[in-house]
Structure 1
Amino acid sequence: MRTSEIAELVQVHPNTVRLYEEWRFISPVPRRANGYREYSDLHLMQMKIARLAFNQEFIQNNLRKKATQIVKLSGREQFKDSLQAAESYLDYLQSEYDYALKAIETVKHLLENKSITGKMYSHKSVAAMLQLTEETLRNWERNHLYTVKRNAQNRRIYTERDIQKLLVIRTLRSAHFSITSIAHLFQKIEQSNKNTDLLQILQTPAFSKEFFHVTDDLINQLKIAMNDVKSIITILTDLQ
């Protein structure tokens, strides 16, 4: 196949094919005597893997890295390792999907004004619970996304309400909201009521409407991404 032919098959511009070769997303491409590139069925499969991996544009750097790892391993013809990376990526996407659903249920639970327990949690346990690094939580705190009380030993202690707010923040971050935009959103609501807590924020019509809109969009994107990765897994299984 020539460049224009493989580009048409995967529905990209010919320059994208050349770029993927330069980035080693596909195997080295031999040339004919006249200098034209000659692509094989293997190159076609590698191009399809790359297009599926990058079909959904997630803002989170870790998701982009996971997708890129799959493609680079495929381009080096390390199909077994690429398959393992794809399966790991699918598990990660499923986890993000579950967290998005959990966030929706949490907000609905709060809006129904259901009671919470008085149980307290450590900084480390909350990070593990939300599958976030402790530094991520500290960064959110430094950027005024939330505040947390400390005990006599000056250690952070989290309530269930704190965890619920963190879950909302986590979901907004996954839905492409920047830290600055989340902070501004909270501040704007809190300026009208200095005693505003999470429940009052969620009861604000503008916030509630926006939250459910972005979570629906996030869930749809994750569903598409998971289906794309499943297609990648099928291709990689056949290539082994």
Structure 2
Amino acid sequence: MKTSEIAKLSKVHPNTVRLYEEWQFISPVPRKPNGYRVYSELHLKQMEISRLAFRQEFIQNNLRKKATEIVRLSGREQFKDSLRAAESYLTYLQTEYEFALKAIETVKNLLQNKSITGQTYSHKSVASMLQLTEETIRNWERNHLYTVKRNAQNRRIYTERDIQKLLVIRTLRSAHFSITSIAHLFQEMKQSKKNTDILEILQTPTFSSDFFHVTDDLMNQLKIAMDDLKSIIAILTELQ
């Protein structure tokens, strides 16, 4: 195949094909005596892997790195390693999807004013429950996204309400809300409410509407990304 042909089949610009070769997203491309590149079916499959991997870039954290790792391993023809990376990425996205579902259920329960227990949790256990680093949660506290009580030993003690608010923050961060925008959003709620409890924030019509819109959009994009990864896994399984 010529550059123009593989570009058309891959639904990208010919320059993109050349860039992917330069970046080693596809295997080295042999050339004819006249210098024209000659692409194979393998290159076409690698182009498809690249296109699928980079199509959905919507969540923060290091997802670009995860997608790039899959593509680069494929370009080196390390298909088993690329497959493992793709499966790991899929597991991560499935976890994000489950947390988004949990956040929606939590918000619904809060809006229905369902009772909670008086159980408390340590900083370490909360980080584990939410699958976040302890430093991430501390950073949110430093940026005034939430406050938490401390015991006599000055250790953070989290209530179920605290965890519910952290889950909401986690979901907004996954949906690409910046820390600054979340802090500003919460601050606006505080200015109109004496009680700064998470329930008071969620009961604000604007926030409630926005939250469900954001989570719905996030989940739709996660579904698309997971389907794309399943397609990548199928291609890599065939290439092994």
Q: TM-score range by the shorter chain?
A: over 0.9
Partner residue in 2 for 1:31: 31
Q: Evaluate the alpha carbon distance shift between residue 96 and residue 59 of structure 1 in structure 2; reply closer, same or farther with a 3 A threshold.
A: closer
Partner residue in 1 for 2:141: 141
The answer (yes or no) to whether the contact 2:144–2:183 under 8 Å persists in 1 is yes
Q: Evaluate the alpha carbon distance shift between residue 92 and residue 59 of structure 1 in structure 2; reply closer, same or farther with a 3 A threshold.
A: closer
- In the alignment, is residue 176 of structure 1 matched against residue 176 of structure 2? yes
- In the alignment, is residue 218 of structure 1 matched against residue 197 of structure 2? no
RMSD: 0.8
Partner residue in 1 for 2:131: 131
Partner residue in 2 for 1:3: 3
Residue identity matched to 1:77: E
In the alignment, the residues of structure 2 paired with residue 26 and residue 58 of structure 1 have an alpha-carbon distance, to the nearest angstrom, of 24
Residue identity matched to 1:231: S
In the alignment, the residues of structure 1 paired with residue 103 and residue 95 of structure 2 have an alpha-carbon distance, to the nearest angstrom, of 12
The CA deviation at 1:66 is 1.1
The CA deviation at 1:81 is 0.6
Residue identity matched to 1:19: L
In the alignment, the residues of structure 1 paired with residue 91 and residue 134 of structure 2 have an alpha-carbon distance, to the nearest angstrom, of 22
Partner residue in 1 for 2:94: 94
The answer (yes or no) to whether the contact 1:21–1:27 under 8 Å persists in 2 is yes
> In the TM superposition, what whole-angstrom CA distance separates every residue of 1:168-208 from its partner, at most 9, and x where no partner exists?
00000011101100000000110112322100110100000
The CA deviation at 1:85 is 0.8
Partner residue in 1 for 2:161: 161
Q: Secondary structure at the match of 2:199?
A: helix
> In the TM superposition, what whole-angstrom CA distance separates every residue of 1:152-180 from its partner, at most 9, and x where no partner exists?
11111100000000000000001110110
Partner residue in 2 for 1:47: 47
- In the alignment, is residue 186 of structure 1 matched against residue 157 of structure 2? no
In the alignment, the residues of structure 2 paired with residue 203 and residue 192 of structure 1 have an alpha-carbon distance, to the nearest angstrom, of 12
Structure 1 spans left out of the alignment, 5+ residues: none
Q: Secondary structure at the match of 2:55?
A: coil
- In the alignment, is residue 208 of structure 1 matched against residue 208 of structure 2? yes
Residue identity matched to 2:60: Q
Partner residue in 2 for 1:114: 114
Residue identity matched to 2:96: E
Partner residue in 2 for 1:58: 58
> In the TM superposition, what whole-angstrom CA distance separates every residue of 1:8-57 from its partner, at most 9, and x where no partner exists?
00101111111111111111111111111111111100000010011101
> Percent identity at matched positions?
83
Structure 1-normalised TM-score? Answer: 0.98
In the alignment, the residues of structure 1 paired with residue 24 and residue 45 of structure 2 have an alpha-carbon distance, to the nearest angstrom, of 14
Residue identity matched to 1:54: F
The CA deviation at 1:221 is 0.3
In the alignment, the residues of structure 1 paired with residue 224 and residue 189 of structure 2 have an alpha-carbon distance, to the nearest angstrom, of 33
Residue identity matched to 1:85: A
Structure 2 spans left out of the alignment, 5+ residues: none
Partner residue in 2 for 1:21: 21
Q: Secondary structure at the match of 2:62?
A: helix
In the alignment, the residues of structure 1 paired with residue 141 and residue 24 of structure 2 have an alpha-carbon distance, to the nearest angstrom, of 40
In the alignment, the residues of structure 2 paired with residue 187 and residue 160 of structure 1 have an alpha-carbon distance, to the nearest angstrom, of 21
The CA deviation at 1:58 is 2.2
> In the TM superposition, what whole-angstrom CA distance separates every residue of 1:84-137 from its partner, at most 9, and x where no partner exists?
111111111100000000000000000000000010100000000000000100
The answer (yes or no) to whether the contact 1:20–1:26 under 8 Å persists in 2 is yes
Count of residues in correspondence between the two structures: 240
The answer (yes or no) to whether the contact 1:58–1:64 under 8 Å persists in 2 is no
Which is further off, 13-22 or 98-107?
13-22
Partner residue in 2 for 1:68: 68
The answer (yes or no) to whether the contact 2:193–2:200 under 8 Å persists in 1 is no
